[in-house]
Chains A and B, each alone.
Chain A
Amino acid sequence: MAILKDYFRSPIARVGTILLLLIIFIALTADWFFPGNPLRLAGRPLQWPFVNPKFILGTDQAGRNIAAQLFHGAKVSLIIGLVSTLIAIIIGVVIGAISGFYSGWIDDILMRLTEAFQILPNFLLLLVGVAVFGSTINIVIIAIGVVSWPPVARLTRAEFLSLRNREFVQAGKTIGMSSTRLMFKEILPNALPPVIMYASVILSTAILMESALAFLNLSDPNISSWGNLVGNGRLVLRQQWYVSAIPGIAILLTVLSASLVGQGINDALNPRLKKR
């Protein structure tokens, strides 16, 4: 629990956590505040915020309640962020662990594969994935996960490379532990902290990537996501800027909270900062 205490000592972490909790609260209460489908035709399109009490944040150009979309969108954005991060971490950790543990030709092959993914911009790969497999929300989430793992793999590999010659690993080898057990029971827990810290970066990028896809009208139009709202609002940006601005601020705050939390974890885990 010392880590938790360290974590909350940092004001950055506190702000981040409060923001994140707020967004989780919004996501969880969406169905309670705004029951029914947030994409339904709620009223006349393009009503300004704070004009009609029925639509506090106004309506978009398809007559949908922006506040309802914002609440339901929080859920979608968080799910996109969490699930694709999980996918990226699992792929990345497995590849990085095998690569760092075995070295040699296995390492060579896996690292060339990682580099092959890394030299192409993530977003371009994502566009290709969506173009080939379609743009339902499940595919978008998987595709974001699949394009985000290379940095995790490299990070894990680096940790494994430095840890695998430590005494505790040598000791494990001597008493005849299997490679799998050594990798996942002994080395991995020690290699994980930087990966967890990095997860917050992936989470933010995942949310941004979905928004960017939606901005290009390539995300799932049957889902109320913040990106879809920003993308739709683009056409009326000069007059009804709030259609894009409101979800834009929501995206900004979510990404900011994830990154503040990540920063907090990093500070809490960093032994050099602890001494101060």
Chain B
Amino acid sequence: MKLFNIKQTFIIGLFSILLPFYSMADEKTPQHGGTLVVHYSGEQRVLNPALRASTGVYEVSGKVVESLVDLDADSQVVPVLATSWTSSADGKTITFKLREGVKWHDGKPFTSQDVKYNALEFWKKRLNFSTALQLNLTSVDTPDDYTVVFNYSRPMPLDLLLRALVDLGYVVPKHLYEGTDVLNNPYNTAPVGTGPFKFIEYQRGQHIIVERNPDYWRKGYPYLDKIIWRIIDDNSSASAALESGQIDLSSYSKLSLADINRFKQNAKFEVLTKGSQANIFNNTLEFNFRNPIIANLNVRKAIVQSLDIPFFTDDFLYGFGKPATGIIPSSNAFYPKDSKIIYPFDREKAEQLLDEAGYQRKTDGIRFNLKLVHINNGEDVPLFATFIQQSLAEVGINVVIVNLDTAGALNAVYKAHDFDIATGWHQYRGDPAVSTTVWLRSGSPDGAPWTNQYGWKSETVDQLIDNAATEIDPVKRKALYVQLVDIVNRELPLWFATEREFISVVSTKVHNHHNTARWPSSSWFDVWIEH
């Protein structure tokens, strides 16, 4: 008996030809309405992005509060609340034109007064990373309601300011903050902004809810009716919630790498690093120069050369990451072309360097002991600490890992300086001057986390950093950073082992996602969901 007659065969054949075309046609018409449910963890109890610079804050408040500028898919700066900008020839005066007709969620108009207030009260005084950036900001003029003029005492590179304002240029309403105790203002956890979504409710440890803003200045947007962040701190539970359809999205690598790796095989989800390229992060190795053993360059070289980083990224990190070649990530405009790893993995060389430095193996095979503090940002940090311990044991260095909670570890490294080597994450934010050079510039006050607290000081490096931060010629600026990368790679005051991107897992029901360089932090005005 024949299975199919000719007619049936023809129809089946037609379908099998047309079906792939049908599924390829992903340009579906956006649907209005619906609720997006998002994974959130590590509450900071602050939802004011003008007060706390952190992806954990932007993820939620970036939908409610807007910045002057944002990034597009190619990491170029695009207008949001600011529509255009110019810099004077000497780089000391920068003028922004603001968008007209924008209203705060409480109905009051958004004006240059709001920007001036934020610049002076938040960005210059209180916002982390921004206080260093805006150090030379002397005054802000407001010739009319839609023009703001920033006056600097030293030249401010326009490209640096714009790139920094993407994260450090959020504007909260002056009329709700002026004359109040800013740090304890209730709007810090119930934000009011100009964004596509209005804040509704924040239940600690439970959820955060925002709703569509019908008066949003981008007419016809947003598509979504509501966004709910469900707070799930245990990453295995979060993976289960994604699989069972209770949440649609988890970004900034909040799931365990093993689970993320598993989601790659699941057709109902997309696993992507695209859309998070504005926030590259590194596994760090920080040295305490107060210990004379560490202060010896040969010892630092030996430590670096004992670590087989390709093995670590391939076999410990499921291939999510690659060895770094310096303090600037390879995907960034400031990356020096043909950067190389100067001290590659070479165990014999490491042993030789340690012998030369005068630290012979004793009878028990151990040369010396080191205390390693790890600052727990993600699951891979203790794993990398273990990897360092294992690798250094091979060359005769006994590493004792000190297990502390995040606050305790930050205190031990950046305040008490009670460590020999430390490891954690460094986040690169598009321009070395935003949050990277503080790791090298001397003179940070004790206790400032993620800054140079290593007892290391180089006049040359301090000079380079200061000059680059005020150099308004982009080509010269880049040349200065190329020099900086080279010095750091050779002197090893600090070493970045890996270069990694944040990973998102998102349900295929969600559309228009990860279409900008910092999508998880962005306003999501064009995101829609099938429902």
- A binding-site residues for B, Cβ under 8 Å: 37, 39-41, 44-45, 61-64, 131, 134-135, 217-222, 234-240
Contacts and interface: CB of A to CB of B under 8 A. Distances in A.
A34 to B, nearest CB: 15
Given A44-B315, A238-B236, A240-B258, A62 B403 contact: no
Contacts of B382: 217, 221
Given A37-B393, A44-B315, A217-B403, 15 more contacts: A39-B390, A41-B387, A45-B316, A61-B316, A62-B383, A62-B386, A63-B315, A63-B316, A221-B386, A221-B401, A221-B403, A235-B257, A235-B258, A235-B379, A238-B262
Contacts of B386: 39, 62, 221
A222 B391 contact: no
Contacts of A40: 390, 393-394
B383 A61 contact: yes
Interface string B346-389: 00000000000000000000000000000010010011011101
A131 to B, nearest CB: 7
8 contacts: A39-B386, A40-B393, A61-B383, A131-B405, A217-B382, A219-B403, A220-B403, A222-B389
Interface string B401-436: 111110010000000000000000000000000000
Contacts of A217: 376, 382, 403
B17 to A, nearest CB: 38
B262 A239 contact: yes
B74 interface: no
Given A219-B403, A222-B400, A238 B239 contact: yes
A233 B239 CA distance: 16
Contacts of A221: 382, 385-386, 401, 403
A16 B391 CA distance: 41
A195 B26 CA distance: 72
Contacts, number: 64
Nearest to A213: B403
B258 A222 contact: no
Interface of B: 235-236, 239, 256-259, 261-262, 315-316, 376, 379, 382-383, 385-387, 389-391, 393-394, 400-405, 408
A220 B389 CA distance: 14
A228 B120 CA distance: 49
A198 B402 CA distance: 34
**Among B257, B400, B403: residue with most chain A CB under 10 A:** B403
Contacts of B403: 135, 217-221
A45 B384 CA distance: 13
Contacts of A39: 386, 389-390
**Among B315, B376, B393: residue with most chain A CB under 10 A:** B315
Contacts of B385: 221
Nearest to A218: B403
Contacts of B379: 235
A44 B311 CA distance: 9
A44 B405 CA distance: 29
Contacts of B315: 44-45, 63
Contacts of B239: 238
A235 B235 CA distance: 8
Given A222-B400, A222-B401, A62 B390 contact: yes
A142 B85 CA distance: 64
A236 B256 contact: yes
Given A45-B316, A217-B382, A221-B386, A235 B402 contact: no
Contacts of A64: 390
Contact of B258 (A218, A219, A238): A238
Contacts of B404: 134
A221 B256 CA distance: 20
Nearest to B391: A41
Nearest to A45: B315
A222 B373 CA distance: 12
Contacts of A135: 403
A219 B401 CA distance: 11
A63 B382 CA distance: 14
Contacts of B316: 45, 61-63
A235 B389 CA distance: 20
Nearest to B316: A45
A215 to B, nearest CB: 12
Nearest to A131: B405
Sort A-B residue pairs by CB-CB distance and give the 10 closest, nearest first: A41-B390, A236-B258, A235-B256, A62-B386, A221-B401, A135-B403, A45-B315, A221-B403, A40-B390, A239-B258
A217 B403 CA distance: 8
A62 B256 contact: no
A217 B408 CA distance: 14
A71 to B, nearest CB: 18
A240 B318 CA distance: 14
Given A221-B386, A222-B400, A240-B258, A234 B236 contact: yes
Contacts of B391: 41
A218 B404 CA distance: 8
